[in-house]
Amino acid sequence: MKEILFVTGGCRSGKSSFALDYANRHFTKKVYLATSLALDDEMRARIKRHQEQRGSDWITMEEAKSVSRAISSLPKGIDVVLIDCLTMWISNLLLANQEQERIFKEIEFLVETIKNSPHSIITVSNEVGYGVVPDNTISRLFRDVVGIANQRIAAGSDTVVLTVAGIPSVIKGKLR
Protein backbone atom coordinates (compact mmCIF):
# COMPACT_ATOMS: atom_id res chain seq x y z
CA MET A 1 0.00 0.00 0.00
CA LYS A 2 1.33 3.43 -0.96
CA GLU A 3 2.37 5.65 1.91
CA ILE A 4 3.29 9.34 1.96
CA LEU A 5 5.41 10.27 4.98
CA PHE A 6 6.84 13.70 5.81
CA VAL A 7 9.65 13.92 8.38
CA THR A 8 10.67 17.31 9.72
CA GLY A 9 12.71 18.68 12.59
CA GLY A 10 15.60 20.96 13.37
CA CYS A 11 19.18 20.48 12.22
CA ARG A 12 20.67 17.31 13.69
CA SER A 13 17.32 16.34 15.19
CA GLY A 14 17.51 12.77 13.85
CA LYS A 15 15.06 13.22 10.98
CA SER A 16 17.23 11.63 8.26
CA SER A 17 18.21 8.73 10.51
CA PHE A 18 14.56 8.13 11.38
CA ALA A 19 13.50 8.25 7.71
CA LEU A 20 16.29 5.88 6.66
CA ASP A 21 15.54 3.42 9.45
CA TYR A 22 11.81 3.53 8.69
CA ALA A 23 12.41 2.84 5.00
CA ASN A 24 14.81 0.00 5.79
CA ARG A 25 12.27 -1.63 8.11
CA HIS A 26 9.25 -1.35 5.79
CA PHE A 27 10.46 -1.42 2.19
CA THR A 28 12.64 -3.59 -0.04
CA LYS A 29 13.24 -1.74 -3.32
CA LYS A 30 14.44 1.67 -2.17
CA VAL A 31 15.61 4.83 -3.92
CA TYR A 32 17.43 7.59 -2.08
CA LEU A 33 16.91 10.87 -3.93
CA ALA A 34 19.74 13.16 -2.78
CA THR A 35 19.31 16.88 -3.36
CA SER A 36 22.54 18.24 -1.90
CA LEU A 37 25.49 19.41 -3.96
CA ALA A 38 29.05 18.46 -3.04
CA LEU A 39 30.46 21.98 -3.16
CA ASP A 40 33.25 21.59 -0.59
CA ASP A 41 35.27 18.94 1.24
CA GLU A 42 33.03 18.94 4.32
CA MET A 43 29.91 18.33 2.22
CA ARG A 44 31.67 15.60 0.23
CA ALA A 45 32.57 13.86 3.51
CA ARG A 46 28.99 14.27 4.77
CA ILE A 47 27.61 12.75 1.55
CA LYS A 48 30.04 9.84 1.81
CA ARG A 49 28.91 9.13 5.40
CA HIS A 50 25.26 9.16 4.26
CA GLN A 51 26.08 6.72 1.46
CA GLU A 52 27.85 4.36 3.86
CA GLN A 53 24.91 4.50 6.29
CA ARG A 54 22.46 3.53 3.54
CA GLY A 55 24.31 0.45 2.40
CA SER A 56 24.30 -1.29 -0.95
CA ASP A 57 20.59 -2.19 -1.08
CA TRP A 58 19.69 1.42 -1.93
CA ILE A 59 19.64 2.96 -5.39
CA THR A 60 20.97 6.50 -5.16
CA MET A 61 19.77 9.27 -7.47
CA GLU A 62 21.32 12.70 -7.25
CA GLU A 63 19.08 15.55 -8.37
CA ALA A 64 19.62 19.09 -7.14
CA LYS A 65 16.76 20.85 -8.95
CA SER A 66 14.40 18.60 -10.95
CA VAL A 67 13.10 16.45 -8.10
CA SER A 68 9.64 15.93 -9.61
CA ARG A 69 11.11 14.80 -12.92
CA ALA A 70 13.45 12.40 -11.12
CA ILE A 71 10.54 10.80 -9.25
CA SER A 72 8.46 10.54 -12.43
CA SER A 73 11.33 8.83 -14.25
CA LEU A 74 11.47 5.87 -11.85
CA PRO A 75 10.17 2.45 -12.92
CA LYS A 76 7.04 1.07 -11.23
CA GLY A 77 8.86 -1.67 -9.28
CA ILE A 78 10.32 0.74 -6.72
CA ASP A 79 8.73 0.47 -3.26
CA VAL A 80 9.82 3.80 -1.77
CA VAL A 81 11.59 7.02 -2.66
CA LEU A 82 13.29 8.86 0.20
CA ILE A 83 13.81 12.54 -0.71
CA ASP A 84 16.58 13.99 1.44
CA CYS A 85 16.08 16.83 1.67
CA LEU A 86 13.49 19.41 0.70
CA THR A 87 15.48 22.18 2.38
CA MET A 88 18.57 21.60 0.24
CA TRP A 89 16.39 21.42 -2.89
CA ILE A 90 14.87 24.82 -2.14
CA SER A 91 18.32 26.23 -1.38
CA ASN A 92 19.52 24.98 -4.77
CA LEU A 93 16.57 26.64 -6.52
CA LEU A 94 17.14 29.94 -4.73
CA LEU A 95 20.88 29.88 -5.45
CA ALA A 96 20.05 29.28 -9.13
CA ASN A 97 18.25 32.64 -8.96
CA GLN A 98 14.82 31.18 -9.52
CA GLU A 99 12.05 33.62 -8.71
CA GLN A 100 9.86 32.97 -5.68
CA GLU A 101 6.76 32.37 -7.80
CA ARG A 102 8.65 29.84 -9.96
CA ILE A 103 9.77 28.00 -6.82
CA PHE A 104 6.18 27.93 -5.53
CA LYS A 105 5.14 26.36 -8.84
CA GLU A 106 7.90 23.75 -8.44
CA ILE A 107 6.62 23.01 -4.92
CA GLU A 108 3.06 22.51 -6.21
CA PHE A 109 4.41 20.31 -9.01
CA LEU A 110 6.24 18.21 -6.40
CA VAL A 111 3.08 17.91 -4.28
CA GLU A 112 1.19 16.62 -7.34
CA THR A 113 4.04 14.32 -8.37
CA ILE A 114 4.12 12.75 -4.90
CA LYS A 115 0.34 12.37 -4.87
CA ASN A 116 0.26 10.73 -8.31
CA SER A 117 3.39 8.59 -7.93
CA PRO A 118 2.88 4.82 -7.70
CA HIS A 119 5.71 4.75 -5.12
CA SER A 120 5.60 5.38 -1.41
CA ILE A 121 7.39 8.65 -0.72
CA ILE A 122 9.28 9.78 2.38
CA THR A 123 10.25 13.45 2.34
CA VAL A 124 12.73 14.93 4.81
CA SER A 125 12.90 18.66 5.52
CA ASN A 126 14.23 21.04 8.15
CA GLU A 127 11.85 22.95 10.35
CA VAL A 128 13.28 26.45 9.97
CA GLY A 129 10.57 28.49 11.67
CA TYR A 130 11.74 28.14 15.28
CA GLY A 131 14.61 30.60 15.06
CA VAL A 132 14.88 34.36 14.94
CA VAL A 133 13.83 36.42 11.93
CA PRO A 134 16.93 36.54 9.72
CA ASP A 135 18.59 39.90 9.14
CA ASN A 136 18.82 39.69 5.35
CA THR A 137 16.47 39.28 2.41
CA ILE A 138 17.71 35.96 1.00
CA SER A 139 17.64 34.27 4.42
CA ARG A 140 14.10 35.53 5.11
CA LEU A 141 13.03 34.38 1.65
CA PHE A 142 14.59 30.95 2.28
CA ARG A 143 12.83 30.63 5.66
CA ASP A 144 9.49 31.69 4.18
CA VAL A 145 9.69 29.41 1.13
CA VAL A 146 10.77 26.39 3.19
CA GLY A 147 7.97 27.05 5.68
CA ILE A 148 5.38 27.15 2.91
CA ALA A 149 6.86 24.08 1.21
CA ASN A 150 6.76 22.17 4.49
CA GLN A 151 3.11 23.12 4.96
CA ARG A 152 2.19 21.99 1.44
CA ILE A 153 4.07 18.67 1.66
CA ALA A 154 2.68 18.00 5.17
CA ALA A 155 -0.88 18.73 4.00
CA GLY A 156 -0.54 16.12 1.25
CA SER A 157 1.09 13.50 3.47
CA ASP A 158 -0.62 10.61 5.19
CA THR A 159 1.72 10.86 8.16
CA VAL A 160 3.89 13.67 9.53
CA VAL A 161 6.68 13.02 12.02
CA LEU A 162 8.48 15.73 13.97
CA THR A 163 11.88 14.73 15.34
CA VAL A 164 13.31 16.46 18.39
CA ALA A 165 16.61 15.41 19.99
CA GLY A 166 16.48 12.09 18.16
CA ILE A 167 12.94 11.33 19.29
CA PRO A 168 10.27 11.00 16.58
CA SER A 169 6.77 12.21 17.40
CA VAL A 170 3.86 11.55 15.06
CA ILE A 171 1.89 14.79 14.67
CA LYS A 172 -0.42 13.66 11.87
CA GLY A 173 -1.70 10.21 10.90
CA LYS A 174 0.01 7.07 12.13
CA LEU A 175 3.04 4.95 11.34
CA ARG A 176 2.87 1.32 10.28
Active-site residue set: 50
CB contact set of 75 (below 8 Å; sequence gap of 6+) = none
CB contact set of 39 (below 8 Å; sequence gap of 6+) = none
Helices (H), 10-85: 15-26, 41-54, 67-72
Helices (H), 64-136: 67-72, 86-95, 100-116
**Diameter over CA atoms, the chain:** 46
Using left for φ > 0, alpha for ψ between -120 and 50, and beta otherwise, residue 13 falls in alpha
